[in-house]
Amino acid sequence: MTVSTRNKLRDRMNGRGIHSGTTRLLSVAIAVIGAIVVVQSLAESSSALAGRLLIGILMFAAGVGRLYVELRRGRGA
């Protein structure tokens, strides 16, 4: 087992790994909920400025953005 593999395994076993995994899971969940809200809003023929559509877009952007930041941080970039 290489040093890098041991370090990754150790990180997964402590609180840092649990926090990172939970952050990724919740980021995906927020992005999915945002996408569902957008699709529902568009299916109901709401205008582009409707509050629900805006909230859906913002939720999707927040989830994807947070996931991007977490993945970049995980690679040490």
pTM, two decimal places: 0.72
DSSP string computed for 46-68: --TT-HHHHHHHHHHHHHHHHHH
pLDDT interval class at 58 (50, 70, 90) = very high
- At residue 48, φ and ψ (nearest 5 deg) are -65, -20
Does residue 45 have a pLDDT over 80? no
pLDDT, greater one: 35 or 50: 35
Predicted confidence at residue 77, as pLDDT, reads 46
Interatomic CA distance for residues 17 and 38, integer angstroms: 32
**pLDDT at residue 76 tops 60:** no
The pLDDT of residue 67 is 93
Domain extents for the chain? 3-74
